[in-house]
Amino acid sequence: MSAMDSVERWGRFEAVFQGPETENPFVDVSLRAEFRLRNRVIAVDGFYDGGTTYKLRFMPDTEGTWSYTTHSNFAELDGIHGEIQVTAASAGNHGPVHVKDKYRFVYEDGTPYLPFGTTLYHWVHHGNEEREQSTLADLSDSSFNKVRMIILPTGTMDPPSLAFAGNLSSGVDTQRFNPDFFAHFERRVEDLQRLGIEADIILFHPYDQNVWGFQKLDPETEELYLRYVIARMASYRNVWWSLANEFDFNVHKTTADWDRLLQFVQHHDPYGHLRSIHNGTKMYDYSRTSMYDYTKPWVTHQSIQHWETSLTSNWLETCPKPVVVDECCYEGNAPRRWGNISGEELVRRFWECMVRGGYAAHGEAFVGDSSWISSGGKLAGESPARIAFLRELMEEHQADLWNTGSARDCYWLYFGISRPAYWELDLPADREYYVELIDTWEMHRERLPGTYSGPCQIPLTGKSYTALRLTRV
């Protein structure tokens, strides 16, 4: 057995075959395989990778000897048998992220996961390897462990490579894909995986500006595209699926269309990666904010855009699934209202979200040498260091909101712009709590003397943006 036939648990096995050259192999040739371990069978799609090359990828979730058999409408790809030996996961490989306790996340090996996301829509579309490496270096030094990134181009941007065959000047062929684009995209996803960062891949968006036609593809083409993306990328354990960014801004699609596409992804992804869809909003206008019905069973979590993160409590009550506020405006000085809040305000929105049991995401939109949310590069804002401080605190003790009343072991209180001199609490009389006073902006924490229980009064500093953490002794 060769080294190539061995893969670690939640690693990525790849088998390469030589097959037919047809008029359009993306459409003409079907390739799939069944991977078996004892009585378990997992079916995966293969894909055409250019020339005469076809590939199968598989992410095994159990140690042992797996066998596989291919099935194809062409004889040279049909009935191929093989085996792979799946070994224990290496250090740092915790498997894919799934939902736990209704609105928490956990890696498949049981390790808790708290998403601290950032947005890098088109960072891999500009053909600038130096900038992409700079982005990875800044991510490596940051606290961000989830990145939102888009496959399809926006408006009149003219990337050197596209998901589909073609380019801006000559047009695109939506029945053919560009393996070189995907190979590059996958390298960046693998880089993120190496850094322990989840890749939240946005499959569609409404920013065509009548240039590409991607937001009004017919159902057959949409499904051809989704099958190709899933076949290539589902075997990366750090992948999440975001069906669309600001789905409701696409006037060519109905809710039934999005339901159909989400169910299609659910059906064709062999590994059940996290799935959601992201709403749009007219910033600071409650009357023009649309939300998807996240209670639908084909959605795993709520991916929300909203400027008022204190609504996290309402969203959790309405739908018992994790709330990820993937956009609550960006730190920056862009002329659009979604891109010019201060770092102080973005940090406030993070805290408002997280003390209520949700998760917020970062982004930067500074005018100048390409915005972080569009092109990556270097983080420039004041919020990343404060978000890192918040992550450190939350990973020590997150509010156990799934417990109620006297069963609570950890409480968080955040005062935002308020600055009271003290705060009165009525804690369980039969339990004692340590109390920490936290300055969320100056990144300072102080444990108050003694312990607290029952009715009590806790002294504060009279400063805005302070928080309290109460942890059971």
- Per-residue pLDDT tens for 99-154? 998 989 999 999 999 999 999 999 999 999 999 999 999 999 999 999 999 999 99
Q: What is the mean pLDDT of residues 440-456?
A: 96
Provide the pLDDT for residue 3: 44
- The per-residue pLDDT for 399 is 82
For the question of whether the overall pTM of this predicted structure is more than 0.75, the answer is yes
**Is the model's pLDDT at 77 over the cut of 50?**
yes
Average pLDDT over residues 285-303: 92
pLDDT digits (tens, 9 = 90+) for 55-65: 999 999 999 99
Query: What average pLDDT does this structure show over 321-333?
Result: 97
Q: Which of 44-53, 380-389, 421-430 has the lowest mean pLDDT?
A: 421-430
- How far apart are alpha carbons 268 and 42 in whole angstroms? 11
Distance CA 334, CA 336 (A): 5
> Which domains can be identified in the chain, with CATH numbers?
3-87 (2.60.40.10), 97-396 (3.20.20.80), 405-472 (2.60.40.3950)
Percent of the chain with pLDDT over 70: 99
pLDDT tens, position by position, 2-51 = 444 899 999 999 999 999 999 999 999 999 999 999 999 999 999 999 99
- Predicted local distance difference test score (pLDDT) of residue 1: 37
Confidence of residue 334 (pLDDT cuts 50, 70, 90): very high
At residue 370 the predicted structure's pLDDT band, cuts being 50, 70 and 90, is confident
Mean pLDDT of the chain: 95
Residue 188 has pLDDT above 60, yes or no: yes
Residue 289, pLDDT > 90, answer no
For 401-427, how does the pLDDT look when each residue is reduced to its tens digit (9 = 90+)? 777 767 788 999 999 999 999 999 999
